[in-house]
Structure 1
Amino acid sequence: MPNIKPVSDLRNYNEVLKDIAVGEPVFLTKNGRGRYVIIDMADYQKQEATLKLLSKLGEAEKVIETGEQWLTSDDVKKELGL
């Protein structure tokens, strides 16, 4: 069940921070509507890595669609100096 609190609870932020755990963000509302999310640093880093990977996959799909030249494994080794 999501942990939802009004943003005014941040006056006593230590209590709000106690409720944050990996995989369990705290959702803050303002005027009865969702406004902010506080997440654990590990979750944040995982999200950032996932977004970066998805971006790279999107770039790869564009290369495939446009038919740009692919590198052979020998070309990659040569560029890396192996």
Structure 2
Amino acid sequence: MPKITSSADLRNNYNEISNFCHQYKEPVFITKNGKGDLAVMSIEAYEEITARFELYGALKQGLDDIEAGRVVSAEDAKEMFRKKYPGANI
């Protein structure tokens, strides 16, 4: 269940809200004049979410490349790697 609180509560109970965000790794939704306004979360939770989005983007790009035929065999990939990095052992 999401935690929802008012902007006044954010001003008056900042430490409590901060502790909640860090402890549960979940956002707190802030309302202003009874309507949704902000989502507040810890830096760690934000970084985890953005890392997940980056991973999903990379996976999508890879799947798009496969679908479009932009692929090479494993042997060709190894050969290209060896040419770019001559001392590498793969």
Aligned to 2:57: 55
Unaligned runs of 5+ in 1: none
* Deviations 1:30-76, CA, capped at 9 Å, x for gaps: 121111111223322221121011111211222122222x2111222
Aligned to 2:25: 23
The answer to whether the Cα contact below 8 Å between 1:22 and 1:40 also exists between their aligned partners in 2 is no
Could you state the TM-score of these two structures normalised by the residue count of structure 2? 0.71
Unaligned runs of 5+ in 2: 83-89
Structure 1 residue 28 displacement after superposition: 0.6
Q: Distance in 1 between matches of 2:65 and 2:57?
A: 13
Q: Distance in 2 between matches of 1:24 and 1:64?
A: 35
Q: Distance in 2 between matches of 1:39 and 1:19?
A: 9
- Aligned with 1:19: secondary structure? helix
**Alignment identity in percent?**
35
Amino acid paired to 1:71: V
Could you state the TM-score of these two structures normalised by the residue count of structure 1? 0.76
Moved beyond 3 Å, runs of 4+: none
Matches within 5 A, 1:1-82: 1-12=1-12, 13-20=14-21, 21-68=23-70, 70-81=71-82, 82=90
Number of residues paired by the alignment? 81
